[in-house]
Structure 1
């Protein structure tokens, strides 16, 4: 137990030391370059970060981007559950979605963003792109978890005439839940990046991507770095949320 705590503390110290070294190198290089368009100093970035946080529209930009991300994720999740169940029941449906899934995973993200902007308006494009990118990941995870269920368990349930509702709630749903919880943070983080990319190109009225594009047009690199810090903080929050969900979901293992 003590060794485990020491290892964890050692890892935290090493990570903190790595961050300090990277920040030190960043500051040194920025001072050598002496051009904030190429690489701003740390204090310039944090001044811009303070200005961004104090702006009236800051909360609107953050909430709109997070809202688009969450909505995109849950739409993709619902659709993937429906399609996965259909694919599990019918090999025809499963094989029908294989090429579509491969195509969605193969197409570069920027092409999907551009196509979404051509087919839909600027406000809806980020949602569409978010769904298109996260759906294949969730679909494969859910379908894979259902296929991996022990066949002996299913046969035993059939032998004892377990009704379909109990099969779903006691066998299928827990298996799906464990798989989804294990990938939820990485999938939502990916959806966040995709939504922001859609906002950068689509320029809706509010959103983190919209403000990044504004900073780009104004050649304000320190402003872009400030928004990157905000995005990283949101991603860290999502990762911590996943850890909490994992602890609660797998509490029986402790």
Structure 2
């Protein structure tokens, strides 16, 4: 008990040490290269980020980017779960959908962004790209989760004439939840990357990617790094929140089937 308490107390210190180590590496690169246009110092990036925090356009860009990521992610979860369940229970639907998933996974994101620029307005391109990149991950994991359901439990439910809704809630959902949790966390990190990349190319009015592109055009490396830090922090924050929500949901033990 005492050892576990010591380990828990050391975790924040270990994280702080790791953070300071990489900041020191960054500072070392700055001293070695010696040109701000290539690698700005951590202090100049911090000062730039501090200035951005007081600008209304900064918060508008963050708000719209968060909206695009969450919209694409939720759309991929809704369609990925529903189509994944149907595909896992019907071989014909699975064989029909599987080549599309393989094509999406093997096609470069840049190709889809360029195609989306023709199909949609600049503000909707990141939503579509986020959905398109996250959908195969959700679909694949849901199919795997349904196909790994314990067949003995399904046979027991069939023998005791358990209602289909109860079977779905008490057997299928607990089996799918670990796969879906991993898929959602992975998709959230991927969603941030592809959405910002789509914003850089589509250049919507309020977007983190648009500011990244502007910083690149004006060779403002400090601002470029500052916006990059913002993307990393937002991605880590949302992944942490999402993981905690999922843990709370999955830790709830379902009641026995015969209680229904």
Q: Same fold (TM over 0.5)?
A: yes
The superposition leaves residues 53-89 of structure 1 with CA deviations (integer Å, 9 ceiling, x where unpaired) of: 1111111101111101111011111111221122122
User: TM-score, normalised to structure 1's length?
Assistant: 0.92
Following superposition, the deviation at residue 177 of structure 1 comes to 3.1
**In 2, Cα distance between equivalents of 1:168 and 1:157:** 10
Q: Is contact 2:200–2:213 with CA below 8 Å preserved after alignment?
A: yes
**In 1, Cα distance between equivalents of 2:169 and 2:196:** 36
Q: Is contact 1:182–1:246 with CA below 8 Å preserved after alignment?
A: no
Following superposition, the deviation at residue 9 of structure 1 comes to 4.0
Q: Is contact 2:177–2:250 with CA below 8 Å preserved after alignment?
A: no
The RMSD of aligned alpha carbons is 1.8
Following superposition, the deviation at residue 190 of structure 1 comes to 0.9
**Is 1:187 matched up with 2:187?**
yes
Match of 1:43 in 2: 43
Aligned residues: 253
Following superposition, the deviation at residue 224 of structure 1 comes to 1.1
Match of 1:57 in 2: 57
**In 2, Cα distance between equivalents of 1:230 and 1:180:** 27
Following superposition, the deviation at residue 11 of structure 1 comes to 4.7
Match of 1:33 in 2: 33
Following superposition, the deviation at residue 171 of structure 1 comes to 1.8
* 1:78-117 paired onto structure 2 within 5 Å: 78-117=78-117
Q: Is contact 1:48–1:222 with CA below 8 Å preserved after alignment?
A: yes
Structure 1: any 5+ residue segments left out of the alignment? none
Match of 2:133 in 1: 133
User: TM-score, normalised to structure 2's length?
Assistant: 0.90
Match of 1:74 in 2: 74
Q: Is contact 1:142–1:176 with CA below 8 Å preserved after alignment?
A: yes
**In 1, Cα distance between equivalents of 2:239 and 2:189:** 8
User: Does 23-32 or 229-238 show the bigger shift?
Assistant: 23-32
Structure 2: any 5+ residue segments left out of the alignment? 254-260
Following superposition, the deviation at residue 181 of structure 1 comes to 2.4
Following superposition, the deviation at residue 176 of structure 1 comes to 2.6
**In 2, Cα distance between equivalents of 1:59 and 1:28:** 31
**In 2, Cα distance between equivalents of 1:180 and 1:25:** 37
Match of 2:256 in 1: none
The superposition leaves residues 179-223 of structure 1 with CA deviations (integer Å, 9 ceiling, x where unpaired) of: 322332221121111111100000011111111111111101111
Following superposition, the deviation at residue 25 of structure 1 comes to 2.5
Following superposition, the deviation at residue 227 of structure 1 comes to 0.9
Match of 1:213 in 2: 213
**In 1, Cα distance between equivalents of 2:5 and 2:183:** 26
**In 2, Cα distance between equivalents of 1:165 and 1:186:** 29
**Using a 3 Å threshold, how does the CA distance of structure 1 residues 32 and 88 change in structure 2: closer, same or farther?**
closer
